[in-house]
Amino acid sequence: MVTTVPGPKSQELIGRLGYIQNTMATQFFVDYKNSHGNYIRDVDGNNILDLFNQISSVSLGYNHPRFAETVQNPENLHQFINRPALGFFPGEDWVDRLENSLLSVAPKGLNRVVTMACGSCSNENAFKSVFMAYKRYLRGGTDYTEEEKRTCVMNVAPGAPPLSILSFQNGLHGRTMACSSATHTKWPYKMDFPHMDWPTADWPELKYPLEEFVDENRAEEDRCLEKVNSLMEEFKSKDEDVAAIIAEPIQSEGGDHYSTPYFFQGLQKLCKKHHSYFIVDEVQTGGGSTGMMWYHESFDLPQPPDIVVFSKKAITGGFYFTDELMPREGGRVFNTWMGDPSKVLLMETMVNVIKEENLLNNCKVTGEYLGKGMHQLEMKFPDQINKVRGPGVFKAVDVKTPEHRDKIMRQLRDRGVLVGGCGDRTIRLRPSLILQEHHADIFLDIFEGVLTDN
């Protein structure tokens, strides 16, 4: 480390950017050209071990040579220059691209997919898909009425029905209005914005380590499932039927909160019972760092979820869906671009590298090593950190207070390690899939030093 972070050059650029837009979230400016692998280099020349990876959206580290090849291959040039309106005019290779990228790693039982450009439009269109399917079920085969056609355009019933999406306290699903209505993390994300008053259920508050509190945790999950069921009944009785439940396999932004497979199995059962749909939001958990491409597959669901949403590490946004969720008309799950073929091309490269280099296994192996080291620190500093948790390299640990967390994160950064915060007092690691044991060692050393000094 050459300077503390943000260094003088970053500060100067933050000053300049401040004339253009709000910079209160800006951490530092980055020399992307000279960032490599797990190291992000800031404009002041600091090489920082990046365990946050652009809010968990970098899979293969910085400037991976295979991505460079993909961009530089003259055969691919046209993909980066011409952006199609994919819903009208897809490119010659589009079906191949989808098959070689997204469909080649589809969650078990799901073989349909649609691309979008980010996690928010993915969830928004997932919601539209379930609203359509739920109303098809209610209509039982009758056609839209003229009144529905007239009223939907004016945002009133019956064309615009008061259907709802059930979400969880501390869940995050995006920042556009429907996604944000299903989001319940921090007040700055929501203050002063109108939202849909949809049902919000409790997420189980499990005790860690999970294997030591099996009975208590089961009771807590049963309590939450019962609450979900009663909310679904309550909203149906007010004619605001719950068309879908949406959940993250691991509540990430909310604080890396886990549940057991039993909870997700229970949610799926409740969906079946109420003829609702089950949307699993893998925007943060998907893409491999848990040691699995899609973390919900660890839940042993008897049937696939109805929809699995992705973005971030998947490079393209979008969602997988079942036959039942297929729109019956054109242009309804739609926008101008519907994703970006150049991102899908990069995703194909990523998928190939993951397979060739067995990176899911790397995440398991490195993750086990990293977890062991973190547990040792937990035993050494029990008054400062606890609840070390997480599959693969998708790790988290709680600290004492929000202030303690922010201080530790600052100190880590000034000593050369970038991590993320989540929840009130959680530190999350969102490493790339190419993290090695020696990177884990560097983090563990520096973390130990910071804890020692606190």
CB 89 within 8 A of CB 83: no
Figure out which of the listed residues 55, 210, 214, 379 binds a copy of itself, where binding follows CB under 8 A: 55
Tokens of 67: 């991505």
Residue 268, interface with ligand FES (CB under 6 A)?
Answer: no
Q: What's the alpha-carbon Rg for the chain, to the nearest Å?
A: 23
Residue 117, interface with ligand FES (CB under 6 A)?
Answer: yes
Figure out which of the listed residues 1, 160, 377, 442 binds a copy of itself, where binding follows CB under 8 A: 160
Enumerate residues 165-224 that contact ligand FES by CB under 6 A: 176
Scanning 174-182, 201-209, 293-301, 442-450 for contacts with a copy of itself by CB under 8 A, the matching segment is 174-182
Enumerate residues 223-252 that contact a copy of itself by CB under 8 A: none
End-to-end CA distance of the chain: 20
For residue 281, the minimal CB distance to a copy of itself (Å) is 13
Q: Measured from the CB atom, is 34 or 176 closer to ligand FES?
A: 176
Residue 254 sits at the vertex; the CA angle it makes with 253 and 259, to the nearest 5 degrees, is: 110
Figure out which of the listed residues 4, 11, 39, 162 binds a copy of itself, where binding follows CB under 8 A: 162
Residue 186, interface with a copy of itself (CB under 8 A)?
Answer: yes
Half-sphere exposure of 24 (CA within 13 A, CB side): 2
Enumerate residues 397-426 that contact a copy of itself by CB under 8 A: none
CA torsion angle for 18, 19, 21, 22 (degrees, to 10)? 40
Tokens of 118: 């980010």
Can you tell me the distance from the alpha carbon of 448 to that of 48, in angstroms, rounded to the nearest whole number? 17
For residue 428, the minimal CB distance to a copy of itself (Å) is 14
Enumerate residues 326-345 that contact a copy of itself by CB under 8 A: 326-337, 342
At residue 80, φ and ψ (nearest 5 deg) are -90, -15
Return the SS3 of 360: helix
For residue 337, the minimal CB distance to ligand FES (Å) is 8
At residue 385, φ and ψ (nearest 5 deg) are -130, 150
Scanning 116-124, 222-230, 234-242, 422-430 for contacts with ligand FES by CB under 6 A, the matching segment is 116-124
Q: Report the interface residues with ligand FES, using CB under 6 A.
A: 117-118, 120-121, 176
